[in-house]
Amino acid sequence: MFQALTSLSDHDIELVIAAVTEWCSQHHCDIESSRGQLALTTAIDALQSSPGRDALLHHLSEKLDKQS
């Protein structure tokens, strides 16, 4: 998973980590858990269509809350 992060700019990495950390906090899970890793993967995939942290966090909630 961390290989995917290395292809991102520092700013994009910060956006992804901030959004995933917030999402994990809201959903009471650890970023290293399977749900946290899924959130990380989803955030990286969504980054191209979600330019900001708030949009990215919203996208995570839309995608992942349906799976819970």
**Helix, strand or coil, per DSSP, at residue 31:** coil
Six-digit token string for 68: 């819970």
Mean pLDDT to the nearest integer, 24-47: 91
Please tell me the distance from the alpha carbon of residue 13 to that of residue 9, in angstroms, as a whole number.
6
pLDDT at residue 23, rounded to an integer:
92
Give the number of domains in the chain. 1
Q: Is the pLDDT of residue 66 over 90?
A: no
Task: Kindly state the DSSP code that residue 8 receives in the 8-state scheme.
Answer: S
In 1-68, the DSSP E strands lie at none
pTM of the entire predicted model: 0.77
pLDDT tens readout for residues 6-34: 778 898 889 889 999 999 999 999 999 99
Residue 17 domain boundaries? 2-65
Tokens matching residue 67: 């799976």
